[in-house]
A = this chain, B = another copy of it.
Amino acid sequence: MQVTIKQVAQRAGVSVATVSYVLNGTGTVTDETRQRVLDAVAELNYQPRYAARSMRGRSRTLGVTLSTLPGRLAEPALTEVLAGVADAAVLRGYFLLLATANADQDETELCLSLARTRRVDGLVLLDMLVDDPRAQALAGAGIPHVCAGPPPAGIDSPSVAIDMHTAAVDAVRHLLGLGHRRIGLIQLPSELAVSDLIVEGYRQALTEAGLPFDPTLVIESGRTEEDGYQAMTELLASPKPPTAVLAGSDELAFGAMHALNDACLIVGRDVSLVGFDDLPQAAHVNPPLTTMRQPRRVQGQQLTMLLDDVILKRNTSLRTVTLSARLIVRRSSGPAPVS
């Protein structure tokens, strides 16, 4: 059988309340009594049951939901954020509950359900969509949550976002500076909130340079390497293929790089390639990938801390954190070839 607070109390010769007070540091207890209790706790190896404890008060758990898609956890960009979330969670004394949506319950319902059953104190929303239904529902129900990316228009959910617009501008400027004039864009799925921001930045940088916006150079793709491969193949098949390509993520860029290899084009000489993320692998592919480094790990940490603030209703003036991406130049981008 499990050891309960009652047994500890009996052994220490005090009431259960006193044990609880000692363990939580709440009541007023003599040093001598405290010691007796602590001894009893140690001898019996007592640990309070979580369910009983959280019947009153918080569950000390943060929720992270995943869509039905199997294998979401295997995506590096997502796990980088998650790693940050997890690292900060332990510092703030939270556990992390990972819940996957299924056929009977979509992700929004899952979020609501986790909160309503008090399984979690708050939720971290990864992978924000345009008009994200999760954020809308949670904001509507007054459930603590934070968004990893821009919250939907009209909803003022706390968020930690990376300024993707500026990042895209910087990336394109880099390519313009290298003399490129035909610059392609392999876009993340347009339902993602970041997708539009990147396109807008791309567009702005071109306009600044007096270049027209050519829709045939922009391809909406998926999120996997495979998707990047196909998108690049498509770009190469066009009558006037680009001399440089910006990919919406490193994963897409890796796929694109593979397609360029298969087409016997040398990346960084024949075609320049810029990614988005700076995953650990980015430095180790051949050639090493020029990319906009996103501080994903930091984003995750900040998300957790912000969520903790929201849960504890701390007066946080700063409910919208914006981080910047930074251009990391490697060998996948080089001067435009002389035509």
Contacts and interface: CB of A to CB of B under 8 A. Distances in A.
A288 to B, nearest CB: 8
A186 to B, nearest CB: 14
A192 to B, nearest CB: 20
Contacts of A116: 2, 45, 47
A59 B286 CA distance: 48
A179 to B, nearest CB: 25
A6 interface: no
Interface in A54-106: 54-55, 59, 61, 66, 70-74, 76, 79-80, 82-83, 86-87, 89-91, 95-102
A286 B254 CA distance: 10
A86 B113 contact: no
A285 interface: yes
Given A51-B55, A83-B72, A113-B47, A225 B280 contact: yes
A145 interface: no
Contact of A73 (B79, B97, B258): B79
Contact of A100 (B52, B87, B117): B87
B73 A76 contact: no
B281 A257 contact: no
Copies in the complex: 2
Interface string A109-128: 00001001111000000000
Interface in A284-321: 284-286, 288, 297
Contacts of A47: 113, 116-117
A261 interface: yes
Interface in A10-66: 45, 47-52, 54-55, 59, 61, 66
Given A45-B116, A50-B119, A225-B283, 8 more contacts: A2-B116, A50-B117, A66-B86, A71-B83, A72-B83, A74-B83, A90-B99, A281-B281
Interface of A: 2, 45, 47-52, 54-55, 59, 61, 66, 70-74, 76, 79-80, 82-83, 86-87, 89-91, 95-102, 113, 116-119, 224-225, 229, 254-255, 257-258, 261, 280-281, 283-286, 288, 297
